[in-house]
Amino acid sequence: MRSRLAPTSDPVRAADALARAGRLEDALELLDGARTKDPTNADIVLGLARVARRMSMPEAASRCAAAALDLAPEKIEAVVEHSIALRSLGEHTEAVELLRAHIGRCPERAELWLALANTVHEQGEIAAAEEFLREALRLNPRSAEARANLADILFDRGEAASALELYAEAIKRAPRHAQMRFNRALALLYSGDLKAGWRDYEARLEIEDRRIERRFAGKSPTRWDGGPRRARSLLVMAEQGLGDQIFFASLVPKLIERDEGPLIVECEPRLVALFARSFAPARVHACRPLREGGRIHVDYDWLEDAGGADLSIELASLARLLKPELGTVPEIYAPLVADPEEAETWRRWLAGLSTKPKVGVCWRSGKRGGLRDLQYAALSHWRALLEGTDAEFILCQYDDHAEEITELEASGRKLHIPPRIDQKQEIDRLAALLSSLDAVVSAPTVVAMLAAAVGTPTIKLTYSGSWTTLGHTREPFLPASEVIRPTRAGDWAEAFARAQSALLAVLPPRG
């Protein structure tokens, strides 16, 4: 039973303390009560907007921020909060109009320029975002957030050294800002500084909207520090998305090779069959995170039936603990094992198409819009790739659109759609299909990760620097993947010319 909240003379400050402690429901209750007593207090209404945002309630956040503005039209904090809520709702045009209107009245307020930069950046307007960030910094040279956001843009543009300088300055001003340290980690890893990069990568565990509460029925396992396990059991806990789980799971065989004790691997439910086959004798269990009140938690009631665990570690933290083994790119390494019977079924289907090489293609992910669209090349470049390659092309994209297929088939090459497979849900079958292909060319999606993980030569085309290369052109964790990005930002034609050469080099000769 929840304890009653004590009265406070400053409900906004008290609610903020509760929210920072993860007690979002209590913060909401406190502010709700305070608003009932003082309905015209803009600070209380704005506090409700902030808590609603942290609880992943953008509609409520937008309503409360708008109400705060009605009560105090001059309140810049409410303008910024309302713009954030509008962005969460996908209403970027409305957010831009709101911010520009207030900038017209208060052009000296750096936080308005920062919010405008963040909004247009999400829309893919990179040049405008940089301009607005520099204006925010001119008005407030001490702004850590503006400096870090500018570093993000420079890193995406390939200017890693300049980005790292800005990250360092920003983090000096905000040393406890987890998102800034995590973003710097990606630039450090891309630059090949693994020691500092994996250190900063741990900041992901402190980012508020990514933090996972792990609930154990009994005693919680001790966090593993990478030392000798001495036969103690280890739970490797799932985190992040499907692609990241595939990427970091490539380290699990290194734990199995050590043979230091029982191993339990947790993963996304769609990966269970694939991981169980690949990581025997480890036990594999599905992870089903739940989001409640803006917080994510995972229950481990099942762990006692599995014999419990003495130690635990988050999956991605294996990289930091196993760092002595990550310095070079192995020639051959395929950590995931496709279902051999399913793979044989796909090989028979592929053989029936022709004797030409079989190449999988995936030109984007299922998520689209704004900045994400900027990450993917126009279909005209993919069409040119198909035109210049004498192969059978297999559609490896789960949300294909007929008009896109029609445009690509204008190349004179047919896109073959794999029959009777749900490529989004049937990951184990998709892995078998990918393992049966001669090569895969893909945007940075789960398809690229999975194809490389089963050992298929993979050419991954990225808009910006891929931190997963760790300073190389291939990914040390998944060396079947060659990463190609434009030498000059946005020059996809040049990148696709190199991709074409790389593809022809890995395809088997005909005859």
Last residue of some domain: 165, 195, 210? 210
The CA distance from 391 to 507, in Å, is 9
What is the domain extent for residue 171? 149-210
Q: Sign of the C-alpha dihedral, residues 300, 301, 307, 311? A: positive
Residue 175 C-beta-side C-alpha neighbours within 13 Å: 1
**462 with 410, same domain?**
yes
**361 with 466, same domain?**
yes
**185 with 267, same domain?**
no
Q: Which amino acid is present at 197?
A: G
3-state secondary structure 295-359: EEEEECHHHCCCCCCCEEEEHHHHHHHCHHHCCCCCCCCCCCCCCHHHHHHHHHHHHCCCCCCEE
The answer to the question of residue 415 being in a domain is yes
**398 with 495, same domain?**
yes
The answer to the question of residue 461 being in a domain is yes
Identify the CA nearest to 316 among candidates 171, 427, 212, 229: 212
| CATH code assigned at 476 | 3.40.50.2000
| CATH code assigned at 201 | 1.25.40.10
The CA distance from 347 to 357, in Å, is 12
The answer to the question of residue 138 being in a domain is no
**237 with 383, same domain?**
no
The answer to the question of residue 102 being in a domain is no
Name the DSSP letter for residue 5.
P
The answer to the question of residue 3 being in a domain is no
Q: Sign of the C-alpha dihedral, residues 369, 370, 372, 373? A: positive
The CA distance from 284 to 59, in Å, is 38
β-strands 290-292, 295-299 pairing? antiparallel
The CA distance from 463 to 485, in Å, is 6
**253 with 397, same domain?**
no
The CA distance from 60 to 47, in Å, is 12
**171 with 295, same domain?**
no
**349 with 461, same domain?**
yes
Q: Is 394 helix (H, G, I), strand (E, B) or coil?
A: strand
Last residue of some domain: 302, 325, 348? 325
Q: Sign of the C-alpha dihedral, residues 251, 160, 110, 177? A: positive
Encode 111-144: b = buried (16+ Cβ within 10 Å), e = exposed. Answer: bbbbbbbbbbbbbebbebbbebbebbbebbeebb
**228 with 355, same domain?**
no
The answer to the question of residue 478 being in a domain is yes
The answer to the question of residue 119 being in a domain is no
Q: Is 201 helix (H, G, I), strand (E, B) or coil?
A: helix
The CA distance from 318 to 201, in Å, is 11
Q: Is 228 helix (H, G, I), strand (E, B) or coil?
A: coil
Q: What is the pTM of this model?
A: 0.92
Q: Prior bond to 281 cis, omega within 30? A: yes
**448 with 464, same domain?**
yes
Which residue reads 């990914």 in tokens?
475
Residues 6+ apart with CB under 8 A from 384: 411, 493, 496
**473 with 384, same domain?**
yes
**318 with 350, same domain?**
no
**Do 262 and 281 meet the contact criterion of CB atoms below 8 Å apart?**
no
3-state secondary structure 414-476: CEECCCCCCCCCCHHHHHHHHHCCCEEEECCCHHHHHHHHCCCCEEEECCCCCHHHCCCCECC
Last residue of some domain: 296, 325, 354? 325
Residue 108 burial (CB count, 10 A): 9
Q: How many domains does the chain have?
A: 3
pLDDT in tens, the chain (511 residues): 344 454 556 899 999 998 888 888 999 999 999 999 999 999 999 999 999 999 989 999 999 999 999 999 999 999 999 999 999 999 999 999 999 999 999 999 999 999 999 999 999 899 999 999 999 999 999 999 999 999 999 998 889 999 999 999 999 999 999 999 999 999 999 999 999 999 999 999 999 888 899 999 888 999 999 999 999 999 999 998 999 999 999 999 999 999 999 999 999 999 999 999 999 999 999 999 998 877 899 999 999 888 899 999 999 999 999 864 555 666 678 999 999 999 999 999 999 999 999 999 999 987 665 566 678 999 999 999 999 999 999 999 888 789 999 999 999 999 999 999 999 999 999 999 999 999 999 999 999 999 999 999 999 999 887 899 998 888 999 999 999 999 887 899 999 999 999 999 999 886 5
The answer to the question of residue 303 being in a domain is yes
